[in-house]
Structure 1
C-alpha cells in the first residue's frame, strides 16, 4: 500500500466520477429489501448513510443512526462471489445443422469492466481463495475473464457485527492487501491508500491532501476498536487434525437436530464454490446448453455417486461442510476456508454458530493460543 492520503467526505462523489471516467461500471452497497446489497451505484448519495446492521445468530436487521457515515455496518448477505462465480452460467452449447450434424461451441461471457466499492477485508481474503480455485492450474475461463476486468475498492471494517470473527482467522478488520484502493472512514472523510498501479492512477485523479496526525491516529483507533470488539473466535487457525480425529463426536448429532439443511450458509459464504451442471435442451431438439449452477453439499444429490448417497443424512452433510471448510482446505489451499465474516451465523434460520460447533468438536484445542492448533 502507498502512503496514506485524505479525501474529504464532501468530495466522495469524485471517486465515483473518476471510476466512471475510466470506463468502469460502478457497483456499491445500498439498502434493498431490508439488507445491504451490492448493485449498480453511480451516486455517492445512494450509499447507506447513517445505516448500521444488527446481526446475531439467525438475525439480521438494519438500524438507523444520526451520523453521516456510509460504511458503518458489517457485511450484508453478498460478497464478491456472485459477481465472479456466477450463480448460473452457460458453459457451452451444441447445435444441430440441417444435415443433422452437431456443432459444439464454448460460451464466452461478454467482457465488462466493473468497479466494486465498499469491500471488507474478509471478502478480499475470500477472493484470494476463489482465485486459488478458479484461476489456478485449471483456470475457469468465465471466472478469469470477469476477474481481469475488476477494480476493487476496499473499506476497513470499523463496525464489526456480533457475528464477526475475522481477527481469529487473520483476515481483518483492516484491508492490508488485495484491493486496488483501500479506505478508512472517519467522520470528516476517508484515509486513502493505493494497493496497485490502477489504484495509484485513481489516486492521482482524486482531490486528495495529506492527512493530519490526528486523522491518522483516528484511523488507527478505528481498527483497534474493531479488533477489540470481536467476541467470537475459532479455537485455532488449523483445525484439520482435531476435526478429522473427531468424525464420530456426539456434537454432529446435536447440530444435525438443529440444522434444516437449507443451504443458506453456503449461499452466503464468500468462499463456498460447490456447483452442479444441467442440460437445457430446446423443445424442438435443435440445440442444447450445458449450464452450471450453484449447488450445496447440504443437498442429497450432491453426494449421489453410482446409485447411492455417500452422505445420506443431515449429520453427514453438516460434518462434510465443517470438516472441509475448516480442515480439508488446509490440504488444498494451505489455509482454512473460513474468513470470519460470520454470514453463515446471521443467515442461518436456526442460528447455528460455526465457532460454537468447532469448539464443541475440537474441545481439546479450544484453550490453545491462536496459531498453535
Structure 2
C-alpha cells in the first residue's frame, strides 16, 4: 500500500515537473513575430532545384529565340525582298515558297466552329491563370488555404467567360460564320460540360466509398448555378459584342478553288511535326511540374508563385516560338492547312503532361486501391485537357499573328 502511494506521488511529481517545463517553454520570449509563426513550415529546402528549373527553361527559350531570329532576320527578310522585287509576269509565275500559297493560306479550315470554341476556351483559361497569379504574387491568396485558391480560380473562370465569348465570336465572324448564338452556346457548354461530367463521375465514386472528401450535393448545385447563372450569360454578352465589331480583312484574297497540296517530306508529316512540337513546351516546365504534383498529391505547400509566374511566361514564349518555326517550314513546303496544326502543335504538350503524370503515379505514389487510382488519372486527365486548350491557344494566336504579318509584307497581285 505504501509502495503504491509512493509510486503515485512520484508520478505526480514527474507530471508537475513536465507541466512546469512546458510553461517555461511557452511563456519565454521569442524573436519570431506572431504573423510569421508559420514560416518555418513553409520553408523550401530545395530552392536550388527551382533555380535549375528556371535556368533549364531559359536555355530552351534562348535556343528557340535564336532560331526565330534567324528565320525572321535572315530567311524571311530575304524572302520578302525577293518577292517584292518581282516585276515581270513570267517571274511572278515562277514564284515558290510560302508566297505561292497566298490564295489559300487564309481559307477557313474544316470544323472551324470547333476551332473557335477551343481557342475561346484557351483565352478564358489564359485570363483566369494570369489574374490568379497576379493576386497570388500580391499576397491576396495564401498557399496554406487551398480552398481559397481554388475558389478564386473558379470565380475567375466564371467571370472570364466574357472574354471567351468575345474571342470566339470575332474568330467565327472572320471565318464568315453567321450564327453567333450557336457558337456562343458551344463555347459556354463544350469544355465546362466535359469537365463537369468527368468530375461528377469521380465524385460519385467517392460517394460510393462513403468518404468525407466527396463534394456535397449543395456545392455541386452551387457550381451549376455559377455556370448557368453567370458564366453562360457572360459568354453570350461577349459574343454579341465581338460579333458586332468589324473584323480586319485578310492580307490576301482567298481563291475559289483550293490549291492541291504537294506530297510532304516525312519530317513535315502532320502527326510527326505535331508530336515534335509539343516536346519543347513540356520540357520548359516539367521540372516545376514535379513540385506542383507533389504539392497536390503529397500534401506539401507550394507557395513560390514568383517561380511559377516566370515558368508561365517561359511557357508562353516557348509555345509561340516553336509553333511559328514549324508553321514557317510548313508554308515553305506549300502546305497551307496551318489553322488546326498550329493549335495541335503546342497543344500536344498536354499528351506529354499526362504521360509524365502516369510516370509520377507509378514511381512516387503508393496508391493501391483501384478507386484512388481512378481518381488520380481522372483529375490528371482534366488538368491535361485544360493544359491542351491553354497551350494550343497560345500557339494558334502566335501563328495567326505570324501569317498575317508576313503576307501583309509582300506585294500580292
The reply to whether TM is greater than 0.5 is no
Which of the pair has the greater relative contact order for Cα pairs under 8 Å at 6+ separation?
2
TM-score, structure 1 as length reference:
0.23
Choose between structure 1 and 2: higher helix proportion.
2
Query: Larger Cα Rg: Structure 1 or Structure 2?
Result: 2
Choose between structure 1 and 2: higher strand proportion.
1
